[in-house]
Amino acid sequence: MVRVTALPAPTTPDPKDAPSLRWGILAPGGIAAAFASALLAGTGQRIVACGSRSIDRAREFASQFGSFTAYGSYDELVADPTVDVVYVASPHSAHRDHALLALRAGKPVLVEKAFTRNACEAREVIEEARSRNLFCMEAMWSRFLPRYDVVRQAAADGLLGELDSIVADHGQLLYPAGPQRLAEPALAGGALLDLGVYPISLAAMLLPGELDVHATGSLTPTGVDRAETVTLRSGGALATCVSTMSARTANTAVIAGTSGRLELPGWFYQRGPVRLVGTDDVVLDTYAPESTEHGLHFEAAEVARRVSAGETQSPLMPWAETIRVLEVMDEVRAQLGVRYPGEDGPSTP
């Protein structure tokens, strides 16, 4: 039997070929600005409106990205008949309410990750989408990148042999001098929902079935998680997911099997290369993207394709997977002792 030593080519469609939808941006903050920039640079999508609690902020955002309609309330935004789909970019603590607001106005939604604070809230949003036959998706943008497509194919094709381990870290120096919301329990702050979701989602993408979860970490004086190490086990395979908001780590990922490994250097969850390395440490092949700019436009194009086809989910980030990842993070918080205001427990119905 001849061993395959070449990485598969990505099969990700060109985002510019996706049908054009008219987008409404809910909560024009930093991630919304990155999303808008990516849409305008890499797709044929159109932004037609934005909504904020501050009309001045909405107008500033609109003038920055194309002078579209600005609203001083979220209700006005979701009621706009020219809006085909709503992108929810508010803090985690508001995702549930804002997603429900859009769905109840008859709008498909793309909701920033983490999708909601916990799995219970996610089930509520998803059930609303299901009952209205509307598209709804978590904006875990890494899963739509060509880089992740190469990883998925390589693992599925057996290039690594039997999967043995995944190691991924995501650390940024954001605390205590960064955004204040990260220290606020009321805003679902902490490292996990902002940073830890990336390595956990990568591991969940490759590890099937129910995941055994073990977590250790440390909390801030306000009671949110500052850093954690999460170990996930599926059968004989293990994943180690490290996240911290008080140090800049290498932000790399390695996926290893009995026949070789995949290395994702740099910021593993962004656009970038994939290296296939043999058990003798020889680099067998490298996928190198033509560009490492942007990346959020791939998820937007996926939304446009699915909505235009009348579908309610994406197979790359289906509802069950969003809930599965949140169940892992609920268990991590339970083991660390992190509770957000209004929760009896992270997963309490």
- Could you list the active site residues? 113
Alpha helices in 83-118 (DSSP H): 92-104
* 188-215 b/e (C-beta count within 10 Å ≥ 16 → b): bbbbbbbbbbbbbbbbbbbbeeebebeb
User: In whole angstroms, what is the distance from residue 278 CA to residue 258 CA?
Assistant: 9
Give kind and range of the element (H or E) at residue 306: helix 296-308
Rg value, the chain, Cα: 20
Instruction: State CA 75 to chain mean position distance.
Output: 25
User: In whole angstroms, what is the distance from residue 168 CA to residue 269 CA?
Assistant: 10
User: In whole angstroms, what is the distance from residue 314 CA to residue 100 CA?
Assistant: 19
User: In whole angstroms, what is the distance from residue 344 CA to residue 348 CA?
Assistant: 6
Q: Which is it for the CA torsion 26, 29, 30, 34, positive or negative? A: positive
342 φψ region: left (φ > 0), alpha (ψ -120 to 50), beta (else): left
Reduce the DSSP state of residue 181 to 3 states and report it.
Answer: helix
CA distances from 323 to 53, 134, 319 (A): 29, 17, 6
User: In whole angstroms, what is the distance from residue 203 CA to residue 234 CA?
Assistant: 10
Instruction: State CA 126 to chain mean position distance.
Output: 16
